[in-house]
Structure 1
Amino acid sequence: MDDQNKNLILATALSFLVILVWFVLFPPPEPTPTPNETEIATVEGNEVQTPSAAGTGTVGEATTATEETLPDEQAPRVEIDTPRLKGSLSLSGGRIDELFLKDYKVSIDDGAPIVELLYPVGSESAYYALYGWAPGAGVGGADVPGPNTLWTVEEGEALSVDTPITLRWDNENGLTFRRVISVDEDYMFTVTQSVENNSATEVGMAPYGILARHGIGEDGDLPGLKNFFILHEGVIGMADGTLTEIDYGDVRDFDIDPNERAQAEVFQIKEDGWIGFTDHFWMTTLIPEPGTAFKAAAKFDPRRNIYQTETVLPTLTVAPGATEEVTTQLFAGAKEWQTIREYQAQGVYKFIDSIDWGWFFFLTKPIFWLLHNINVLIGNMGWSIIGLTLIIKAILFPLAFKSYVSMAKMKELQPQMEALKEAAGDDRQKMQQGMMELYKKEKVNPAAGCLPILLQIPIFFSLYKVIFVTIELRQAPWFGPFQDLSAPDPTSIMNFFGLLPWAGPQPESLMALIFIGILPLLLGISMWLQQKLNPAPTDATQAMIFAWMPWVFMFMLGGFASGLVVYWIANNTITFTQQYLIMRSQGYKPDVFGNIKSSFKRSSKADDK
């Protein structure tokens, strides 16, 4: 591979990085959420009708005058309190609609509030889970609890790990509905719905679960959503081994009949699956029992701006005097690798795929596994990233050795290549032919230096995905001012690189692009040192471009996650050390600082021309 092709590879990698930086620095704007309203929506083609999860406290189409209802803000609530969760559920509809994550704060600032995942109806961005029964044979809509039905607490006072609660509602026509809700020590709720038939008639009905989210904008915008192109936010589901990811904006594009009230995409799941909504670090998921056939749907009501995911289980026939029940689960919490992995081990089918591993999942999964286990041993994510870099470099060392040996030989041939260029003048074909003959004579393979670069590109993007997506890197401290490795470097000359106790410029500001932190500076220096060991391009213009590239990258990557910059600094430093020692072992003694002078001479000659 000649210098021109190598430059093409580097230019391609640079182009990818430019795109990444553009989306980091200039994300799409967030529109104002739209208000909520009550509506009934149906999934086209369903044999049963499921009500919309929407409810504002008024009597909707799913309720009747005989059903007791209250405005949601007036409805009694049941407290939720576990080691990792706190919140409450509303007896209006029995909605799980207020949930805080005790272990996570919205920022690293002192006094920052903890993360709120679910919001009640009437909030700016309502987000909640709702369960119920869709009426089947022998049952009318008035005979099943609706989204605004006022339940009573039959057993329990507050929901905790050791104390489940039981909700009850009688339809006054012989049917008694109960809902037993329990929660574990992490993020999994178990919901057991039952119906007791004390009437003289056989009835049929289908249990369902709904997750609803209000107020998301036309482009899928909502406060808290990132809208970053490498991150999936929206509907996520598993259907018999097939993972489905649908962005909020794409949900709005589902085909819709003008006579229908909602547009939907339905998934028939034969045995194993789940469906829900996923954000950057948080997720809610409806999980029927493993081995259960059910129908899942992603739904959007364009008139009310409400998104729903739902699961509808097969219709149950309840004979007179009989009781039928069904148990499902609800995950509502942080996408922690270890926690989700344990739920998968307990039977949630391929639940680990709910984490957004990306196209390079075959790299991101093992890279994260290795990083996680190093962090378990070290207890510091910054040093773990450096340890991961050492391991990756050790794995790639056999290829790197051949590359660096080739580069040492190429550096030795630099004077002869310069002579060939002067002899060929403007005849590029003659120059290329002379170089090929020189390579053949000296037994040098210029392509040997390309493979490590090609391997490094997917590894870099995979690690970027891991650092950006996984919650384990969120607000992960290193040392000193570096208290969040998922955020850009907080230091700059404005706070003397973290020595003074005030913050630097905001990451999204123009000042942050100019007054960069200590990590981007170290990155530029490490790239520049590494470049001095590589053969310089024979073309003066290319030499000038390569001379400026480290400093361009230094400013470009100033807004990237500091954990990624730490990886790149460590990678460059290890690469420089390996290459320097290997080149010396091959009889070539690199004069790094001498190369500075020669590079400036070439640049000045190019300027003179």
Structure 2
Amino acid sequence: MKMNKRLVLILILTVLTVFLAGCGDFNKEITVDSEGFWSKYVVWPLVSLIIVFKELLGSYGLGIVVVTIIIRLVLLPLMIKQTQSSKKMQEIQPELNALKVKYKSKDAVTQEKYRTEMQKIMSERKVNPAAGCLPVIIQMPILFGFYHAISRMNVTYDIGKFLWFELAAPSITLAIIAGLIQFVVLRTGPAMANPQMKVMMYIMPVMIMVFGSFLPAALALYWVIGNIISFIQNVFIYKPFKKKEVVPVKVGGKKK
């Protein structure tokens, strides 16, 4: 149920972001004098940052890479908080599963006891399931802002290539790379311990490959760089390659 609510929230945010972005502006030139909240305070700051680093480093591709790293570093405290919350959720999952077994009856009284016990565990362990939504809420406008920035920059500037990828044109190869790295990120994160999240481990990479195959390659480059940073973060926080110890689960004061 909580997972369904989260997916509905993400869908609503996506629709609202697309609406606020104004789909008709994709082919409109973007300048410092562009009007409208979205253009002035989201798209143009991203474009100007990319241009600054293009002048310093010699290519728009490197500018996009650096701006992506800067954005992810700014979001890093939130991302760390999210991953720590996910890790705690992963740690208490056996206890929550044991509660489901203990209160398997569907009558209202039993289910109320189940919810009370579940909230007690989460409160004691300081776990907030909603914490995982915050980075999504913040990154959604940035992602669409990048899409707008790249699309509208291409009207005025020749954004050229990064390695052999034409940044203004779709690249199936880069989209596949982005999707595969996304899979690795989810595989090394909390998804493996949460059955509900395991579904996303397969859906998300496919979605990125599909969308990336017809969106500008610059956006796929943003996904690639961002997910590399997420993978490094997972290695330090989740330690996915370290052998995990089996910890006894306590239910009602007894170990199982």
TM-score (norm 1): 0.35
2:142 to 453, 459, 472: 459
2:133 and 2:98 map into 1 onto residues whose CA distance is 24
**Would you say the 8 A contact 2:191–2:198 is kept in 1?**
no
Query: Is 1:406 matched with 2:85?
Result: yes
CA distance in 1, matches of 2:176, 2:142: 22
1:3 is displaced (CA, Å) by: 3.7
Give the 5 Å matches for 1:96-115. none
Q: CA offsets per residue over residues 483-522 of structure 1, 9 Å max, x none?
A: x311111xxxxxxxxxxxxxxxxxxxxxxxxxxx221111
Aligned partner of 1:353 in structure 2 is 34
Aligned to 1:189: none
Tell me the alpha carbon deviations over residues 341-381 of structure 1, each in whole angstroms, 9 at most, x when there is no partner: 6xxxxxxxxxx227xx7735312121111111011111111
* Alpha-carbon distance in 1 for matches of 2:126, 2:217: 42
Whether the 8 Å CA contact 1:420–1:435 is kept in 2: the answer is yes
Say yes or no: does 1:386 pair with 2:36: no
Contact 2:30 2:44 in 1 (8 A): no
Q: Distance in 2 between matches of 1:367 and 1:479?
A: 22
Larger Rg: 1
In the TM superposition, what is the alpha-carbon distance from 1:557 to its structure 2 partner?
2.6
Q: Which residue of the partner structure matches residue 142 of structure 1?
A: none
* Cα distance between partner residues in 1 of 2:223 and 2:86: 21
Contact 2:212 2:219 in 1 (8 A): no
Mapped partners of 1:400, 1:231: distance in 2: 32
Equivalent position of 1:5 in the other structure? 5
Letter in 2 for 1:10: I
| Pairing 1:123-522 to 2, within 5 Å after superposition | 230-232=23-25, 280=27, 335=29, 337=31, 352-353=33-34, 359=38, 361-425=40-104, 427=106, 431-471=114-154, 474=158, 476-480=160-164, 482=165, 484-489=166-171, 517-522=172-177
Secondary structure class of the residue paired with 1:359? helix
CA contact (8 A) 2:153 2:159 kept: no
Determine the structure 1 residue equivalent to 2:254: none
Residue 190 (structure 2) pairs with residue 534 (structure 1): yes
Q: Deviations over 1:152-185 (max 9, x none)?
A: xxxxxxxxxxxxxxxxxxxxxxxxxxxxxxxxxx
Cα deviations across residues 61-106 of structure 1 (Å, max 9, x unaligned)? Answer: xxxxxxxxxxxxxxxxxxxxxxxxxxxxxxxxxxxxxxxxxxxxxx
Partner AA of 1:394 in structure 2: L
CA distance in 1, matches of 2:243, 2:57: 36
CA distance in 2, matches of 1:592, 1:460: 33
Tell me the distance in 2 between the aligned counterparts of 1:13 and 1:526. Answer: 24
For 1:390 and 1:565, locate their aligned partners in 2 and report how far apart those are by CA, in whole Å. 14
Flag the 1:570–1:550 CA change in 2: closer, same or farther, 3 A.
same
What do the CA deviations read for 1:101-136 (whole angstroms, capped 9, x no partner)?
xxxxxxxxxxxxxxxxxxxxxxxxxxxxxxxxxxxx
* 1: CA distance, partners of 2:102 / 2:208: 35
Contact 1:410 1:535 in 2 (8 A): no
Task: Output one character per residue of 1:553-609: Cα deviation in whole Å (capped at 9) or x when no partner.
Answer: 32233111110111011112212212331x15xxxx325999xxxxxxxxxxxxxxx
Partner of 1:169: none
C-alpha separation in 2, matches of 1:565 and 1:543: 23
| Helix, strand or coil at the partner of 2:161 | coil
CA distance in 2 between partners of 1:593 and 1:563 (Å): 37
CA distance in 1, matches of 2:98, 2:194: 10
Which one-letter code corresponds to 1:478 in the other structure? F
Distance 1:593 1:568, change over 3 A: farther
Amino acid in structure 2 at the alignment position of 1:353 = S
Taking the aligned partners of 2:146 and 2:77, their CA distance within structure 1 comes to 21
Comparing both structures, which one devotes a greater share of its residues to helix? 2
Aligned equivalents of 2:208, 2:62: Cα separation in 1: 23
TM-superposed deviation, 1:429: 5.5
Cα distance in 1 for residues equivalent to 2:144 and 2:98: 39
Letter in 2 for 1:447: A
Within a 5 Å distance, the mapping from 1:520-559 to structure 2 comes to 520-532=175-187, 533-535=189-191, 543-544=198-199, 546-559=201-214
Instruction: Deviation per CA, 1:260-308: give whole Å up to 9, x if none.
Output: xxxxxxxxxxxxxxxxxxxx36xxxxxxxxxxxxxxxxxxxxxxxxxxx
In structure 2, what residue type is equivalent to 1:460?
L
Aligned to 1:321: none
Distance 1:450 1:375 in 2: 33
Give 1:535 shift. 4.6
8 Å Cα contact 2:50/2:64 also seen in 1: yes
**Structure 1 SS opposite 2:220:** helix
**Partner-residue secondary structure (3-state), 1:413:** helix
CA distance in 2, matches of 1:230, 1:521: 25
Structure 2 unaligned regions, length at least 5: 245-256
The residue type equivalent to 2:54 in the other structure is N
| Structure 2 CA distance for aligned equivalents of residues 521 and 391 of structure 1 | 24
Go from structure 1 to structure 2 and tell me whether the alpha carbon gap of 1:544 and 1:423 turns closer, same or farther (over 3 Å shift). Answer: farther
| SS of residue paired to 1:559 | coil
Equivalent residue pairs, number: 236
Is the CA contact 1:414–1:535 (under 8 Å) kept in the aligned structure 2? no
Q: Any conservation in 1 of the 2:183–2:201 contact (CA below 8 Å)?
A: no
Residue 24 of structure 2 aligns to a residue in which SS?
A: coil
Q: Distance in 2 between matches of 1:380 and 1:592?
A: 39
Deviation for aligned residue 1:400? 2.0
The normalised TM-score by structure 2 is 0.77
Contact 2:234 2:240 in 1 (8 A): no
What is the Cα-based RMSD across aligned positions, in Å? 3.4
Q: Offset at 1:419?
A: 2.1
